[in-house]
Structure 1
Amino acid sequence: MLRNENRIIGLILTSITFTLTTFAMIISLTVLVILIYQWYRNRIKKEDKITIYLCIHIYLSLLILAAIILSMNIRTLLGDLTGQSFDSLWCIFSGYLALNHISTVYMAFVNQALYRLVRIIYPRYQYFQSLKFYTFLFIIEYLCGFGIHCVIIAWNGVIYLTNDHFCYASFTNLLAVVWAAFFAYLFPCSCPMIIYIRITRFLRRQANTVTLVTRQRQDRDFLIVRRISIILGLLLILGIPAMIFILRFAITGDYYPLTLRVSWLPVAISVAGLSVASAYCIPQLKSTIRKVFQHRIAFISGVVPLDRTEM
């Protein structure tokens, strides 16, 4: 249980994280509902279907991660204010679930980067541009993530944290936390960066040897890659404070009581930012959302004058 100054600071940090996570959930759920509805009504162009399908994976992953973080925040707030304990097997399982869904969010962006890599550099490989392939890939990645993080069970890696009132990987267990940091953050975060660097180098080499039409398409691809760099920046921010605290503990052996609360704040910022930035940076997604709101505005504009006439 936190005391004195740390308790007040902890409450402030948790409250901010709670607010940002709630915002992220609302945005993610709204976009997800729009995409599923548009997909169901067949209002998505055939050439955009793979991109939108990958966006559905992204927003579903963001929504689930935001829900997990929100449940942690609620337990933390209740524990701080009432002293209630949430130590249970479900709590331990939810800690593993949180680790797995952090890597799931990253892998959703890896899949999107992989699709762009195949479409731009290897367009002949049609199977790797199909819904079937990415559905299968998503399932395999999710199962592999669970398998990788279950290794931590042998090290008692996820425990109930009395200062924070939820279960997660303890920073004092260096073996478990380094394993989790590598597979939930470093590896999946580096994959899209490597892929987009490869795409950028390819487009630059091809810039002077293609037709005007192809060059215009490549310019659009360059623009998308530049915008997606914003997303990659948010993905990086997500884990930087946690990595700093891991290094701090490894060097000094000193564990700061508010380590996890400080670490979860940039995660909430990143999730909230990703939910907004993705809608701006992915043209097909931006176009789909814009059409829905334009249709809604046109519908309201058409109904209101009629009501006034009838009055």
Structure 2
Amino acid sequence: MLSSMNIQSRLGHLYNQSFNSSSCIFSGYLAIVLLGMLYLNFLNQAFYRLIRIVYSQNRWFQSLKLYLILPMIEIIILTCILLCILLPLNGVTYLPNDHFCYPTLTNIPSILSTAFVVYIGPFCCISFIYMYITRFIRQQGNIQTLVIKQRQSRVLLIIRRILIIVNLLLILGVPGMSLIIMFIITGEENPLLARIVLFPVSISQAGLSVALLFFQFHN
């Protein structure tokens, strides 16, 4: 999706082409949904570890069907929420200076609502779940066998790595958020606003994709 946006941007600048169309608007909405699902994948991993460690005796939570159905439910819910937010606010529009469709970064209600649903909400849930798991493991430390302690030490190591990645992704958003705050204060839009904001997003998508593959082999 980001590659398509980059190609459109280059073609637009080189040949002054316009890609303003209904398919472009659709791709803008799709990009936001896919970005949200990428962050929800980390939330799913956190939920899986919560069930595996804290509620390991509950067979219903251990069911394979649950983890097959859960992503489908998340896609439906996430899409409905984002559409309910973005459509009334006309959130996704064609950016003539960048030649692709994306939520308008100067539409403050739209971009803040989207950021909360796509990133801030999952980030807070992930942090809460891992803090709860860490607390649970420490409370159970005195009544566990050596094998269980070694396994949970390994889980804690993976948790720390995941939190480091998520925190780095949070830091990557600081430049873009700073420019958005400056726009709110001054009312003047930086011509490079979209590119500065989307550059960390592209890095985070690439990083999260690699990280998800890496952590799949450490479950």
Q: What is the rounded CA distance, in whole Å, between the counterparts of 1:101 and 1:279 in structure 2?
A: 17
1:1-311 pair list within 5 angstroms: 68-151=1-84, 152-237=86-171, 239-284=173-218
Secondary structure of residue in 1 paired with 2:131 = helix
Q: 1:84 is paired with a residue of what secondary structure?
A: coil
Distance 1:99 1:238, change over 3 A: farther
Deviation at 1:283?
4.0
Cα gap change, 1:208 to 1:235, in 2 (>3 Å): same
Matches of 2:214 and 2:185, distance apart in 1: 41
SS in 1 for 2:106: coil
Shift of 1:199: 0.8
State the shift of 1:143 in Å: 0.9
Change in 2 beyond 3 A, CA 1:147/1:278:
closer
Question: 1:107 offset after TM fit, Å?
Answer: 0.7
| Structure 2 residue identity aligned to 1:148 | I
Percent identical pairs in the alignment equals 49
Shift of 1:142: 0.5
Q: State the shift of 1:262 in Å.
A: 1.0
Which aligned runs of 4 or more in structure 1 are off by greater than 6 angstroms?
none
The Cα shift of 1:135 comes to 1.8
**Greater helix share, structure number:** 1
**3-state secondary structure, aligned to 1:256:** coil
Q: Aligned equivalents of 1:133 and 1:91: distance in 2?
A: 34
CA distance in 2, matches of 1:214, 1:182: 37
Measured after TM superposition, the shift of residue 239 of structure 1 is 3.6
Deviation string, structure 1 residues 152-186 (Cα, Å, up to 9, x no partner): 11111111111100111112211111111111121
Distance 2:114 2:62 in 1: 31
Which one has the largest radius of gyration?
1
SS in 1 for 2:102: strand
TM, length-normalised to structure 2 = 0.92
Instruction: Provide Cα deviations, 1:125-159, integer angstroms capped at 9, x if missing partner.
Output: 22222221122111111011111111211111111
Residue 244 of structure 1, CA deviation: 2.5
Shift of residue 100, structure 1, vs aligned partner: 1.1
Q: Could you say what secondary structure the match of 2:144 adopts?
A: coil
- The residue that corresponds to 1:300 in the other structure is none
Contact residue 38 and residue 205 of structure 2 kept, 8 A: no
Alpha carbons of structure 1 residues 83 and 172: separation in structure 2 relative to 1, 3 Å: same
CA pair 275-171 structure 1, distance change in 2 beyond 3 A = closer
Q: Which runs of 5+ in 2 are unaligned?
A: none
**What TM-score, normalized by structure 1, do the two folds share?**
0.66
